[in-house]
Structure 1
Amino acid sequence: MADMRRLLVSLCLLATALWTSLPARAEDPATLIANTLRIESESRLVADGAVEIYYQGRRLTAHRLVYDRAADTLTIDGPITLTDGGDTVILASQAELKADLTEGILRSARVVMSQQMQMAAAEVRRIDGRYTDMSRVVASSCKICAGDPTPLWEIRAQRVVHDQQERQIYFDRASLRFGGVPVLFLPRLRIPDPSLKRANGFLMPSLQSSTTLGTGLSLPYFVTLGDSRDLTVTPFLATKGARTLELRYRQAFRTGEIELTAVGSRDALKPGQTRGLLSADGRFELPKGFELTFHGETVSDRAYLLDYGRSDKDRLTSRLEITRTRANEHISGRFLSIQSLREDEPSDSLASLFGDMTLKRRFSLGPLGGQGGLTFQTHSHTRSSDDPFDTADDADLIADGRDVLRGRIRADWRRDWIAGNGLVFGVLGEVTTDLYHIGEDATYGGTYSRTHGALAAELRWPLVKAGKAGVNHVLEPVVQLVWAPSGTEALPNEDSVLVEFDQGNLFALNRFPGSDAVERGARANIGVNYLRQDPDGWSLGLTFGRVLRADDPGQFTTGSGLAGRSSDWLAAFQIGTAAGLGLTNRFLLDDAFALTKAETLLSYDRPRFGLEAGLLFHKADPAEGRLIDTNEIVLDGRFAIGQAGWQARLMNRYDLKADRASNAGLGLSFRNECLSVDLSLSRRFTSSTSVKPTTDFSVSLELLGFGGAAPGPSRQCRG
């Protein structure tokens, strides 16, 4: 009956629409729905019970409404809810509004923006459908619980104006309070409303403290330069005299984006000098599926990044690259520039400029069968020095001025046959031709060519067993016989000095990572793989094997695990569970089962707890630049504290050989629907002639609910 009565009232209203004159224009009709409707005089209409008005995208709900035709006003009794078609909702107990709902007064009102920011006011005035003028206001984006009505933070103001067109909120005589305690008074304050992603103004400051610079404050200012550009200006002042100005410029284009950063500093560490950094990043989509990316960075001196806690990089790499990857094809071209920040590495004898071009294609070989590949590659690198000899400045057995230009063509092929009993027989091979031109080198200067090939026969026998409850086991022994010439001409090796022996290249034809060296001689790669998969989500993988050679080519160092006629034993396993636990381990063991290398990685990822830990051991190998054993542990963890949004972090890098930490850090963060706090403490224990051990502390605080900042988990009320 109630629904029928509401329908009849609505029809009655439509029949008398000309009399009511609620719609301002014929093309914008108003709709009024109520439980009861009565006309008390020629100019007075009263609607009672579940009143709803729809007009020009606005919606109002109330308990009672009185329309005065002569004054063209609405007198409304609440509870009242007014939405304007956007993200703003006004709640009130009583209101007097114009018939089009664009102007008027609402009393005991609350304004909710984007379901985040709430403002309670004694009185709210609607002006021209654009401004919301509030008096005696309390604003916050924090959830308020009945048992604890004080929000984490609030802004109290005598007057607040919300400009819905410009999406700005203006506070007059405002005070910021935390837990009800005033901490800051601001005569004037302007902030963006939650629907605005970008606006001119100050961003949240951050406090930093270090033993090198003292205590300092950063106060970023954000400037919009149209819809696609912006600039952030960040001054930083510290108690020990450091002064820094950082500029960050961003621009979005139709096909890409760029970001430019410039930082200048003056401090007491290097009196009278201007220190700083420059960086540029960008990405653009080019015609025919190509993509252009670039990254460039440079600093004024070796210690700047560490002194200001920006990075612990010891080399800076700038890059310009064009790539395209499609089915069976990859094309790339790039230029690289390297700036060394290491104390013992002269920059003029370091290869600092690189150029590469690569074309790779995969294809079927038709009647021959199998899959083939063709790679064409060019490479060059230069040094700023023109000395053709290796001087005592670095003593690295490389001429200080050596420049290299290389061209390469590589073809590879593989085909497999499967027997009826499941045996997989494969034949694979590759041929590579290199052409080198070496300059500024008294030993290797000149033009060289090298052609090298390898041919292998491989036998695999995957044995599959289906266990109980859907568990699958796969055991696969593998034997691979490789023939390669042993008399290939030796060329200077710069890009293949460090060789890793792992489960990924146990059955590879060439284990050198670069192009300067190729693996020579006949050999047998033998091993076994095992995989267990459980439908409950956990898996176990094992690999065990080694390399046996006809003769020792003398190409590998003892630290690589590949030296001699017989390599070290490779043992690797990997465990993963549905609960987020992962464990990866790799060992290299000699015939006496002494460790050459060991790497263990442990990870555990859950919503309230996360851990990443690593244990590394590398045997000393002067040929790889390790004069002593490397033995260290790395730990990075996080865990939630209680249910209130607190999270702790721990980071440590410890050198077990030297029995001291190299880096350590602690962090504490809090985030909920209205507040984000981050505190971090770190200590760097290492030192050099240009940097000293330092301790850094930083604090950042952000009030969420402004300018589209993403809120965290909402506060949970108790009781």
Structure 2
Amino acid sequence: MARTSREAPLAALLALLAAPAFGQAVVQPPIVAPTPIAPVLPGAPAPAPAPAAPARGEDQPVTFTAEEVEYDQNRALVVARGRVEAWQGNRVLRADEFTYDRNTGVATARGNVQLIEGDGQVVFADSVVLENQFRDGVLEGLRGLLAQNGRVAAAGARRTGGTVFDLSRVVYSACDPCRDDPLAPPIWQLRARTATLDQQARQARYRDAVVEFGGVPLFWTPYLQHPAGDAPRQSGFLSPTFGITRFLGAFVEAPYYWAIDESQELVLRPQIATSAVPNLGLEYRRRFNFGEIEAEGSLGYLDGSDNTERGFGGHIFSRGRFSLDETWRAGFDLNLATSEDYLRIYRYGARRLLSTQVFTEGFWGPDSYARVDGRGFQGLRRTDDNSRIPVVLPNIYWDWRSPVDPLGGTFTIDTWNFAVFRRTGTSTQRASSRIGYVLPATDAIGGLWTLRAQADLAAYGYTDLAGPPNFSTAADNGSAVQANIRAGLDWRMPFIRQAGEYGHQIVEPRVQIVTGPVTGAQARIPNEDSIDLEFTDANLFRLNRFSGRDRQEGGTRVDYALRAAWHFPNGGMIEGLAGASYRFQRDGGPFFAGSGLENRASDYVARARIMPVSWLEFLGRGRFDQEDGNMRFLDLSTSVSLPTRTTITAGYLYTPAAPYLTPVRNRDEVALGITQQIGHWRFAAYGRYDLDLNRGVTLSASAAYEDECFLLEARFLRRFAEDPATGAQYPANTILLFRIGLKTIGDIGFRAI
């Protein structure tokens, strides 16, 4: 006897829907005949529904629709026809016809079979035959839509154990079909005689595989493996890098990834070259519940060619960050290398100075902060004398900001203490504190007033003050105490004019008077944090224009500036500022010649920003001599973004010689860059040129094609920097890189020169 209906429960589909398309099936419940439905007479209450069993996992109820469903109780056969669609949870099955034979345990789905998984993977087949409680089966005409846009097709497939698919005559690609000709070969596809899709391990393995580009076979491999879908981290070889360089000769790097456990991983990067001994690089990462560690290191050997060092070399770059509780955190940075040449030759980055630190710091909202750390530095160039480079241990800092007082002002208190040690040169111990107060106010006509006050107190102990970096002629070993008080009254008046449809304009004069005791040359005070001084509009109105506390500005001065701006309705603007200072005393502090503050009347400082439209921006900042207007410092940059997806950048930089930088010389450079995108293509070029030395600084260019499945990239970089010890350019100063990426498969890099 058969029953037919348009919508009915189909218990035989329960196990099929509970099993992933490439996953393990569960034992299906037995098929039972539909329960007869008792008629309900008009006016009679409806019978109470049977209590529902809890639905969980594979026991969730199955909902399905079909144009026709037949159940033959005598033959124990269920047949559903016509747009069969069933779903359970987030899994869906579609087919033209589904048949289940209870006597043999064989289920068959025919015609446009689709198995859709919750992770986005979709498998299509012409027909599917399943047995052994749906754990084993055979599929014909398989086509799959996997995660990350992966597409697979096979003439036939066999499923074993519910988790492994063995495929024959396989084609795989992550490329979208051509819109104009869907049957045309994609940009790339992988063909293999056989393949295995392991759903449990989320891996695809191919044997006797060929990679085709545009339908043309270009690369053959006996074995290839890649993740299938959202595969978890797994150990295995990563894509290799090939290349040819002047120092290494021909080389190959074949990295191996080791997934140690869920919280840590290691990458081994062995490198074999024809003109150098093997090099081994390591990358290690580990995450904790309270922090993380990252480390990179290597071991190699330099043969001494082209004025490089001879002997073993290596490096380690590492960092760690840890949360101790809601207030405190700790961390470290450990960076060491044998030489800059080693890093350049073996492609670990060009670095001149490495820093190492261990620290702990605490945060109490936005109003208080504390930090304790130790720091060390390493110079990598042969001209660097590391005996003069300091070790700082300890370095202690704490600050606190008070709530706003009844007058509207705010107090700040901090202390900054450190000990600096050098094998050659000045060693310093300092204990210092600072108290500050800021009180803003507004007058009746709209003027903005700000009262600032600052008091500094510091005690020093030092040895070899006559050595670097102080070179003092007034003292050598001893101690000193320094105190200073600075107070300033700042006034500015913004005049605003509405310009109707053209936005609004602002003109804002600003004047500040700052006073305090004369501080003198301070030759008996060691200088550790105020060596670098650059006078610009950014520090024009600071109470102390020195960057740190070891050098204190003194005397009375007046700062003045005029700022003007025009704000447009489209968000654009034109803004500029010009200002200077005048000191009443000749002695205002130990400002070096050329700093712009060595005279009573300071240099003029200015800045400008022009951005009338969103695609054009100009930024400029400069300093000019008070007497003749000669340029002392100038930094210009501009950016233009055109509707043609073209971006042009240009810049100019001039900085005068500074006594604390070696070599002591002016910097006079221009820079120009351009990027262009055309469809899936992008091009870029950039260059910097030193006008003072009449030679290039850097030159780079790149071209790349990238779409949903393919990446082809070429990069060129040339550095013209010279080693001051030899006068020759640094080794490995030219780089040419090629990269081919097959998305979801991997990429291959090639480096030349």
Normalised by the size of structure 2, how large is the TM-score? 0.85
Q: Find the partner of 2:574 among 537, 540, 544.
A: 540
Shift of 1:480: 0.4
Q: Find the partner of 1:35 among 45, 64, 67.
A: 67
Q: Find the partner of 2:667 among 630, 642, 648.
A: 630
Contact kept? 1:205, 1:700, Cα under 8 Å: no
1:91 aligns with 2:128: no
Q: Distance in 1 between matches of 2:106 and 2:684?
A: 59
Give the residue type in structure 2 aligned to 1:538. G
Match of 1:424 in 2: 448
Matches within 5 A, 1:321-332: 321-325=359-363, 326-332=365-371
3-state SS, counterpart of residue 319 of structure 1: strand
Contact kept? 1:665, 1:682, Cα under 8 Å: yes
Aligned length: 685
Shift of 1:631: 0.2
Q: Find the partner of 1:513 among 547, 566, 570.
A: 547
RMSD: 2.9
Shift of 1:672: 1.9
Moved more, 692-701 or 94-103: 94-103
Q: Distance in 2 between matches of 1:114 and 1:302?
A: 44
Match of 1:300 in 2: 338
Q: Find the partner of 2:585 among 529, 551, 560.
A: 551
Give the residue type in structure 2 aligned to 1:549. R
Matches within 5 A, 1:458-537: 458-469=490-501, 471-488=503-520, 489-490=522-523, 491-537=525-571
Q: Find the partner of 2:7 among 7, 10, 34.
A: 10
Moved more, 241-250 or 572-581: 572-581
Matches within 5 A, 1:220-299: 220-269=255-304, 273-299=311-337
Give the residue type in structure 2 aligned to 1:375. D
Shift of 1:378: 0.6
- 1:368-390, CA deviations, whole angstroms, 9 ceiling, x for partnerless residues? 541111111112211123xxxxx
Match of 2:628 in 1: 592
Q: Distance in 2 between matches of 1:24 and 1:424?
A: 68
1:114 aligns with 2:113: no
Contact kept? 2:9, 2:64, Cα under 8 Å: no
Shift of 1:14: 7.7
Shift of 1:616: 0.5
Match of 1:50 in 2: 83
Q: Find the partner of 1:355 among 394, 403, 409.
A: 394
3-state SS, counterpart of residue 142 of structure 1: coil
Match of 2:751 in 1: none
Q: Distance in 1 between matches of 2:58 and 2:621?
A: 78
Q: Find the partner of 2:439 among 400, 405, 415.
A: 415
Q: Distance in 1 between matches of 2:57 and 2:253?
A: 54
Give the residue type in structure 1 aligned to 2:149. Q
1:214 aligns with 2:249: yes
Give the residue type in structure 1 aligned to 2:507. L
Give the residue type in structure 2 aligned to 1:438. Y
Structure 1: 5+ residue stretches without partners = 1-5, 386-399, 710-719
Match of 2:414 in 1: 375
Q: Distance in 1 between matches of 2:663 and 2:317?
A: 32
- CA separation of 1:460/1:55 partners in 2, compared to 1, >3 Å: closer, same or farther? closer
Q: Distance in 2 between matches of 1:381 and 1:676?
A: 51
- 1:204-263, CA deviations, whole angstroms, 9 ceiling, x for partnerless residues? 122344333334222211010011111101112233225211011111111111111221
Contact kept? 1:219, 1:235, Cα under 8 Å: yes
- 1:475-527, CA deviations, whole angstroms, 9 ceiling, x for partnerless residues? 21111011121145442334323312222211110111122111111100001
1:129 aligns with 2:162: yes
Give the residue type in structure 2 aligned to 1:416. P
Q: Distance in 1 between matches of 2:666 and 2:195?
A: 66
Normalised by the size of structure 1, how large is the TM-score? 0.89
Moved more, 145-154 or 98-107: 98-107
Contact kept? 2:141, 2:156, Cα under 8 Å: yes
- CA separation of 1:17/1:318 partners in 2, compared to 1, >3 Å: closer, same or farther? same
Moved more, 28-37 or 375-384: 28-37
Match of 2:44 in 1: none
3-state SS, counterpart of residue 195 of structure 1: coil
3-state SS, counterpart of residue 250 of structure 1: strand
- CA separation of 1:195/1:297 partners in 2, compared to 1, >3 Å: closer, same or farther? same
1:705 aligns with 2:724: no
Shift of 1:29: 4.6
Contact kept? 2:80, 2:99, Cα under 8 Å: yes
- CA separation of 1:240/1:163 partners in 2, compared to 1, >3 Å: closer, same or farther? same
Q: Find the partner of 1:312 among 350, 353, 369.
A: 350
Contact kept? 1:20, 1:69, Cα under 8 Å: no
3-state SS, counterpart of residue 19 of structure 1: coil
- CA separation of 1:129/1:576 partners in 2, compared to 1, >3 Å: closer, same or farther? farther
Match of 1:77 in 2: 110
- CA separation of 1:528/1:56 partners in 2, compared to 1, >3 Å: closer, same or farther? closer
3-state SS, counterpart of residue 225 of structure 1: strand
Q: Find the partner of 1:19 among 19, 27, 33.
A: 33
- 1:63-112, CA deviations, whole angstroms, 9 ceiling, x for partnerless residues? 22233332233332221111244443111122223496543222111122
Match of 1:717 in 2: none
Q: Distance in 1 between matches of 2:483 and 2:190?
A: 76
